[in-house]
Structure 1
């Protein structure tokens, strides 16, 4: 079962003003086997868009989900608010005994996770397939 959604009210993308251009945060999800929810995140993850990620993750987690994979490969910017939400979601998932993995290979995203110590809580994988396999 696959669903494709964009974060924001009424299915509209969450938009961020950036030097006179608008860049949306995109969120799509899919169910992998074994109760793994994969959430693909694209665009900037910052103060203006991080709440959409929080809401969309929580809205998609139901009783059948036992692991969450956050695909950050298309994240163009990871700000402090985005890092705070990732930390909050990791703690929230851990409290519910859900495994959480991130897919991240870009230096800016990996470095941001390292600087705040999230690389220790959110194990990174190079591909969605590897992260899903690790959660199975």
Structure 2
């Protein structure tokens, strides 16, 4: 581990995977070239600070392929969803990939209602997520849309109906 970003991973990961204060816990392992993080318990405002640090440690290296398994999560609120969006953005900024595993109908409905099911679709099993992770990500043209001679196109981020300014 001679690269600076590899040493940074060791410094950033929390020493304890179980939070004694909030009750959430995690377990991570590497499967098929993916880091699989299994979250348990309640992912809410009480877990925000600790889980943010934990996920930041998992998403700080380039080209990370991260699978977040939400099946053991008993509750997730808007704070938990924002943590997933933050992790997704951090992974994309580093040319990586984030996949979700979840089969709870309430979780799936929440992702659908918020529009997060488009950028962060939940796979029903870990095997499905790993198989999706092996597939090539869509080409830039597929994601960005074809730009014609009329000028630049506005790309929706999938998080709402208002187009985002790409310079922000």
TM-score over 0.5 for the alignment?
Answer: yes
Distance 2:87 2:32 in 1: 21
The question of 1:13 aligning with 2:13 is answered no
* Correspondence list, 1:68-83, <5 A: 68-83=66-81
- Considering only aligned residues, what root-mean-square deviation do their CA atoms show, in Å? 2.1
**Do the aligned residues in 2 keep the contact of 1:50 with 1:82 (CA within 8 Å)?**
yes
Q: Write the distance in 2 (CA, Å) between the matches of 1:12 and 1:75.
A: 15
- Per the alignment, residue 7 of structure 2 pairs with none
Residue of structure 1 in register with 2:106 after alignment: 108
In the alignment, the residues of structure 2 paired with residue 66 and residue 110 of structure 1 have an alpha-carbon distance, to the nearest angstrom, of: 24
User: Relative to total residues, which structure has the larger strand share, 1 or 2?
Assistant: 1
Cα displacement (A) at 1:63? 4.5
Residue 131 of structure 1: aligned partner: 129
CA–CA distance in 2 between the matches of 1:12 and 1:66?
20
Matches within 5 A, 1:79-98: 79-98=77-96
Contact 2:63 2:97 in 1 (8 A): no
Report the structure number with the largest CA radius of gyration. Answer: 2
- After TM superposition, what 4+ stretches of structure 1 lie above 6 angstroms from structure 2? none
Question: Which residue number in structure 2 is paired with residue 31 of structure 1?
Answer: 30
User: Number of paired residues?
Assistant: 121
CA shift in 2, pair 1:121/1:32, >3 Å:
same
Residues in 1 aligned to 2:15 and 2:65: alpha-carbon distance in whole angstroms: 27
- 1:5 equivalent in structure 2: none
**Compared with structure 1, are the counterparts of its residues 96 and 86 closer, same or farther at alpha carbon in structure 2 (3 Å cutoff)?**
same
Report the counterpart of residue 3 of structure 1 in structure 2. none
Which of 56, 60, 65 aligns to 1:58? It is 56
Looking at structure 1, the residues matched to 54 and 93 of structure 2 have their Cα atoms a distance apart, in angstroms, of 18
Partner of 2:9: none
SS for the counterpart of 1:31 is strand
